A and B are shown apart, each in its own frame.
Chain A
Amino acid sequence: MMKGPETELRGPGAGGQTETSSVRIALLGMIRLYQRYVSPIGGVDRCGFRPSCSHYGYEAISTQGPVIGLMMIGDRQTRCTIFKEPGPDYMLLPGGKLFDPVSKNLLFGK
């Protein structure tokens, strides 16, 4: 029996936490706007990773704060190319997407 990854693949990352930083709120709002109005224009589900880049960014900013979160988004955007293949760094999920959660890219511990 195959068991799925423990981390939530999609959905809001903060787990219902109340945001207090205005920069964080602004960045999260921008990501939500992108998800609602910009992303659907080119067709849904184009990102090769899971969670998708926007969900990854949302979770990164929610959990790591705006500074580290932005760095993680920059890193993910650099890595998100069509040349990525499954391997030790990226587990292949049943839907053909590569598993790359925030928790696997934390430089400073968990």
Chain B
Amino acid sequence: MSLLARRILLPSALLLLLSLPPVFSALHAEGNAILLTGDVQLRMADAFMEEGEYFRAITEYKKYLILFPDSGKADYASFGIGMAYYKGEEYRDAARTFSSMREKYPESAHALPARYHEGFSRWKLKDYEAARVTLETLAEDHPESVYAPRALAASSLVALDEDKPGVSRAGLERFVDRYPGHPGADSVKTALALLERYPDRPRKSPVLAGFLSAVLPGSGYMYAEHYGDGVTAFLINGLFIAGAATGFHQENYAVGTIVAGVGLPFYLGNIYGSANAAKKWNEGVRNEFIEKIHLTLSPLFEH
């Protein structure tokens, strides 16, 4: 068997090996050689970015920075990393990257959009004050830039999220004064008109809701428009009150006390829950109002 292998397989293998170099050389001759330049590397990163493969794009941009540290487009690659983090919803990394990019390349053409997106990243992180300051200072430092009106409108929305309607209104008024011919000026005026009505939005009193439920269990939930909870609270508390009252009325004090003891958390919970339902109702109205203003201003942020 081993003799057979030596006589047949070895020559075959040799023949195969001899035939390989021409095949390889033909492939090499026909195919295009790849020369990795900075532009190729950046194009690769941009392609991943366009495909929505943000984390691969980050890798490619980082490769670019490692392979071509002295190139003229390092600022672009750093900005690309920040944008990839931003689009990948990793806002903390995005804010950090934009911030360090601005520090490293203050004269770059991408420093301004980096600042703008840094503000948005901080907004997404609910770091409202930092977001507002970043966007406001951008609008003040570069009032002629294309990002300034958008930053001003965004800072007003951040102020609204902070529950500072006065600051928000001031920002929008500044927008109208400064950019009367801006295509989004009409949206800003509509948002301002909405904002005028913000203090007069309907509200429910948590105190009144709690008081109502203390007098008649469940009525506070009803007042806060949580009707199902109101009916449940009325039935549960009604049964406990009836059970305890019957126990005491029949001079069965032990049973009356136990039923009242078990029912007490439900009664107190009905007061607490009613007040909380009113609070949630107010938050719902406020969020709806803010959402309307966001929607009104959203055309400003479309690219």
Contact = CB atoms under 8 A, between A and B. Distances in A.
Bin chain B's interface residue count. Answer: 20 to 34
A102 B206 CA distance: 18
Interface in B219-259: 228-229, 232-233, 236
A83 B267 CA distance: 21
A67 to B, nearest CB: 8
Contacts of B280: 89
Contacts, number: 58
A107 interface: yes
Nearest to A1: B89
B267 A81 contact: no
A81 B232 contact: yes
Interface in B258-300: 265-273, 275-276, 279-280, 284, 287
Interface residues of A, number: 20
A107 B284 contact: no
Interface in B117-138: none
Contact of A71 (B88, B232, B272, B284): B272
A88 B232 CA distance: 20
26 contacts: A1-B89, A68-B272, A70-B268, A71-B268, A71-B269, A71-B273, A72-B269, A74-B265, A74-B267, A74-B270, A74-B272, A74-B273, A75-B269, A75-B270, A75-B276, A77-B236, A77-B269, A78-B232, A78-B233, A78-B266, A78-B273, A79-B232, A79-B273, A83-B228, A84-B228, A107-B275
10 closest Cβ pairs, A-B complex: A74-B269, A75-B273, A75-B269, A74-B265, A71-B272, A70-B265, A74-B266, A71-B268, A78-B233, A71-B269
